[in-house]
Copies of this chain bind each other. A is one copy, B any other.
C-alpha cells in the first residue's frame, strides 16, 4: 500500500491539477494532461511522449491490458487513491485513468507543406470544442496540417478531449503572428483561402484549384477580420440555400475541408 498516493498535497497530484487548470502551467512545464481510457490508449498507440500515467486503485485491474502496454514502453504508472481520482477528474464520473504528456516539439513548416497539400488555419477561434472538432475532422478527411493563429490553446483539456486522439496524429503549427503566418504560407507557395459569409465571394463548389491551399476559418462570433480576408489569395463562401446564412464555425470548417480534400 505504501506506493499508492493518497495525499492531495503530493507534488504529482498538484502538478496534474496545475496542468489541468492553467495554460501558464502547461507552458511553464511543457506538459499537458489527458483523461480517460480512449485518450490514454491513443497516446500509447501513437507513441506520444508520456511523462507518467495515473490510475486509481480501484481501476488497476480493469485497465491491466492498457497498463501493460504502457509498461512495455517503460512508461511510469503511478497508483492514486480513488478519492484523488475523483478530485483531479474534470468529469462527473471519472474513468480513473489519466496521463501527463510532453507537448511535442514545434512542427517545422517545411515538414508539413508538401506538393498538393491541403491545410486549415484556425484564426481567432475561441471555443475549445470547436477547435478540437476541427482537428478531429481534419484528421479524418486527410488534411495535411492545421495552423493555429490567435486561437484557444490546443493543449487545453477540452480541446484535447474533443480531438478524440487526433491531437497525436495531426501536424499542428502554432503561429500567433499574422504577418509571420502569411509569410510562412507565401514562402512555401501555399495559397490562402479566406472563408467568409459574403455573396460576392467565390462559392467553394466552384474553386478552380484546391491543392496547396490553406483554408482560413474565423472566430465563432465575428468571422475573419477584414484585414485578414483581404490579404488572402481567394475569398470563398459556402453557398447556403436555407433560411439562415450561418453555420457553426466547426461545421463550416468541416464542409470547407471536405470540399478542398484530396479525392
Contact = CB atoms under 8 A, between A and B. Distances in A.
A228 interface: no
Interface string A187-211: 0000000000000000001000000
A237 to B, nearest CB: 12
A141 interface: yes
Given A254-B254, A255-B254, A255-B258, A141 B241 contact: yes
Given A133-B251, A254-B255, A140 B242 contact: yes
20 contacts: A136-B246, A136-B251, A137-B251, A139-B243, A139-B244, A140-B244, A141-B241, A141-B242, A142-B240, A142-B242, A142-B243, A143-B242, A166-B244, A169-B244, A241-B261, A241-B263, A250-B251, A254-B255, A255-B255, A258-B258
A248 B169 contact: no
Identical subunits present: 2
A229 B247 CA distance: 28
A138 interface: yes
A162 to B, nearest CB: 8
Contact of A164 (B137, B246, B258): B246
Q: How large is the interface on A (under 10, 10 to 19, 20 to 34, 35 or more residues)?
A: 20 to 34
A135 to B, nearest CB: 11
A245 interface: yes
Contact of A243 (B129, B137, B169, B254): B169
Main secondary structure of the interface of A (DSSP, over half): loop
Contacts of A261: 241
A262 interface: yes
Interface of A: 129, 133, 136-143, 164-166, 169, 205, 239-248, 250-251, 254-255, 258, 261-263
Interface centre among A129, A166, A247, A262, by most B CB within 10 Å? A247
Interface centre among A247, A251, A255, by most B CB within 10 Å? A251
Contacts of A262: 241
A137 B247 contact: yes
Contact of A242 (B139, B205, B245, B254): B139
Nearest to A205: B263
Contacts of A263: 205, 239, 241
B254 A141 contact: no
A251 to B, nearest CB: 5
Contacts of A243: 139, 142, 169
Contacts of A242: 138-143
A222 B161 CA distance: 19
Given A143-B242, A261-B241, A136 B248 contact: yes
